[in-house]
């Protein structure tokens, strides 16, 4: 669900990593298996595949060696240090989904020395770090592993030289990279939160002052200012995520900040408001057209877009936020922290809510699989037709985001030829419901779900009918 490793650090390591001379030849051999698995072809010898993958391609010592070996095949497939007299497994290989025996590996006791798990199914290979929450893992879809660039990342993390230490009790390069990634994520989460808190503080002061100076005063200017500030921050966070996923033209705020009209000088804030207008109503005449975002986030707001103003310095600080390489985990923690305006210290990463998500994932997964086994639906939409999930105190929406991702993944697994865009849109429009006493929690939950669905579907109004302060929908899990 969330990546174990920083993409920035992976690319840095790849730039200096030395691959063996025959790695492309070995990759070509393994790619035959990967293609067959992705097409769910039968008759594949799983142990031959595992041998070619871990011994031939990734460089682990053969289980048929006369003395010591690093790939062990019984009672389960493991990587580590093995001999006739000793066993010290470090990595467990879970391939049960390939042979239809998902319970076999889970019933075998994990030895204390095991730190990693590599799970292989017909869709992907995933790398888990067992001491870390299972909500974090490195995911390699088989279709992407057939591309050399993605295979290079997989090799970097999972080959013999990096995943296992040089000696039995040494330190492995992949473990070191994980530690560095976690430290980097903590640093980014802290800096993003501090920067947002700083901007939020000065925007609130400025907006409250401007609202109090209006010729026709509005009631409760403090509350109105709070709502306007949060709306602006949610828009900026959407821009950060959408640009990171290359769904919007790069450097939108940067270009708007630096733009100078020689015929008519105007404040930067007017350029920013133009971007918001394009997002809400479409920017088809641009060199890189901006799609219309049909939701309340970018509809013209009578307070923020018509009565209020943001100075050039605060516009600069908003622009700087876009430069942070914000991962999914940092984004979730940032959205949660926005609901606590009184927080004086930066949030802990990963936050408590994030660590509690595996239980939600398992509950949703078991429910939908149980329904699938009982009703035998013929397609993903008929499977989802009777599924409804509600969070009565959605806060920042983490539980609903987890449910969305789980439903999408299970449907993709059960019906691999389905249109994921259609499934994602159906889930958002028909399967998820949320309520909360705090209107800002509702707004952040909507944003969280929209951002989670961005790879498949653009935000739209349909979700807003289900995520609101008052709901009468009931929680439905298949029996």
* pLDDT score recorded for residue 286: 76
238-247, long-range: CB < 8 A, 24+ apart = 238/297, 238/447, 238/450, 238/451, 239/275, 239/322, 240/321, 240/322, 240/324, 240/326, 241/326, 241/331, 241/451, 241/454, 242/451, 242/454, 243/322, 244/325, 244/326, 245/454, 245/455, 247/454, 247/458
**Percentage, residues of the chain above pLDDT 70:** 94
Q: What is the mean pLDDT of the chain?
A: 86
Residue 374 pLDDT level (bands cut at 50, 70, 90): confident
Between residues 107 and 433, which one has the greater pLDDT?
A: 433
The DSSP code sequence of 44-87 is --HHHHHHIIIIIIT-PPPTT-SS-EEEE-SSS-EEEEE-SS-E
Number of other residues whose CB lies within 10 A of the CB of residue 412? 17
pLDDT at 268 over 90: yes
Say whether pLDDT at 105 is over 60: no
State the pLDDT at residue 206.
93
Distance CA 21, CA 311 (A): 57
Distance from C-alpha of 41 to C-alpha of 45, rounded to nearest angstrom:
11
**Token couple for 74:** 């019984």
What separation in angstroms does the CA of 170 have from each of 9, 90, 115, 162? 22, 12, 13, 11
pTM over 0.75: yes
147-199 pLDDT, tens digit per residue, is 989 999 999 999 999 999 988 878 899 999 999 999 998 888 888 888 898 99
Above 90 in pLDDT, residue 93?
yes
In this predicted model, what pLDDT tens digit does every residue of 404-420 receive, in sequence order? 988 988 888 888 778 88
Token pair of 22 as six digits: 């025959």
Q: How far apart are the C-alpha atoms of 105 and 390, rounded to whole Å?
A: 32
Which stretch, 229-233, 239-243, 348-352, has highest mean pLDDT? Answer: 229-233
* Distance separating alpha carbons of residues 437 and 471, to the nearest angstrom: 11
Omega into 75 within 30° of 0, i.e. cis? yes
Dihedrals phi, psi of 94, to nearest 5 degrees: -105, 100
Of the pLDDT bands very low, low, confident and very high (cuts 50, 70, 90), residue 107 is very low
Q: Which residues pair with 250 in a beta bridge?
A: none
For residue 4, give the DSSP letter.
Answer: S
> So what's the pLDDT on residue 73?
86
Give kind and range of the element (H or E) at residue 88. strand 87-94
Helix, strand, coil share (%) of the chain residues, nearest 5 = 50, 10, 40
What integer is the mean pLDDT of 84-97? 89
Taking residues 284-302, report their average pLDDT. 86
Strands 432-434 and 87-94: unpaired
Q: Model confidence over 319-369: pLDDT tens digits?
A: 998 888 778 888 888 888 788 765 556 667 777 777 777 788 888 888 888
Q: Mean pLDDT lowest for which of 20-24, 60-64, 130-134, 358-362?
A: 358-362
The residue-averaged pLDDT of 74-99 equals: 88
């Amino acid at each position: 669900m969330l990546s174990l490793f920083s993409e920035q650090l992976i690319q840095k390591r790849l730039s200096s990593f030395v691959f063996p001379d025959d790695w492309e030849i070995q990759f070509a051999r393994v790619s035959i298996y990967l293609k067959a698995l992705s097409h769910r072809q039968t008759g594949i010898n799983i142990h031959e595949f595992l041998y070619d993958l871990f011994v031939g391609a990734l460089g682990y010592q053969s289980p048929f060696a006369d003395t010591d070996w690093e790939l062990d095949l019984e009672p389960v497939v493991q990587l580590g240090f093995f001999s006739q007299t000793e066993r010290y497994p470090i990595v467990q290989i879970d391939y049960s989904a390939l042979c239809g025996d998902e319970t076999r590996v889970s019933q075998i006791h994990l030895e204390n020395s095991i730190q990693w798990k590599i799970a292989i199914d017909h869709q992907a290979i995933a790398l888990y770090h067992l001491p870390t929450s299972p909500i974090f893992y490195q995911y390699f879809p088989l279709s992407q592993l057939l591309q050399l660039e993605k295979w290079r990342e997989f090799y970097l993390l999972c080959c013999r030289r990096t995943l296992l230490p040089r000696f039995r009790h040494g330190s492995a390069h992949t473990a070191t990279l994980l530690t560095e990634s976690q430290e980097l994520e903590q640093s980014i989460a802290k800096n993003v939160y501090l920067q947002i808190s700083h901007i939020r503080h000065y925007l609130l002061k400025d907006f409250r002052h401007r609202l109090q100076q209006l010729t026709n005063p509005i009631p409760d200017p403090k509350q109105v200012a709070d709502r306007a500030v949060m709306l602006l921050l949610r828009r900026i966070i959407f821009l950060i995520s959408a640009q990171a996923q290359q769904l919007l033209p790069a450097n939108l705020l940067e270009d708007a900040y630096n733009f100078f009209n020689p015929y008519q000088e105007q404040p930067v804030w007017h350029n920013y408001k133009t971007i918001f207008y394009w997002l809400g109503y479409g920017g088809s005449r641009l060199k890189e057209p901006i799609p219309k975002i049909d939701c309340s986030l970018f509809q013209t707001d009578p307070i923020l877009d018509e009565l209020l103003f943001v100075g050039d310095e605060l516009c600069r600080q908003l622009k700087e936020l876009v430069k942070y390489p914000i991962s999914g985990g940092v984004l979730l923690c940032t959205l949660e922290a926005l609901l606590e305006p009184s927080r004086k210290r930066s949030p802990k990463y990963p936050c408590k809510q994030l660590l509690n998500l595996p239980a939600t994932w398992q509950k949703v997964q078991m429910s939908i699989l149980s329904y699938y086994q009982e009703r035998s639906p013929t397609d993903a939409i008929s499977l989802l037709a009777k599924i409804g999930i509600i969070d009565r105190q959605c806060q920042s929406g983490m539980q609903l985001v987890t449910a969305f991702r789980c439903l999408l993944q299970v449907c993709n697994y059960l019906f691999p030829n389905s249109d994921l865009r259609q499934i994602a849109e159906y889930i958002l429009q028909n399967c998820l419901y949320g309520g909360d006493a705090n209107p800002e929690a509702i707004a952040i939950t909507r944003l969280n779900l929209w951002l989670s669905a961005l790879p498949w579907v653009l935000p739209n109004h349909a979700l807003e009918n289900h995520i609101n302060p008052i709901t009468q929908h009931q929680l439905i899990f298949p029996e």
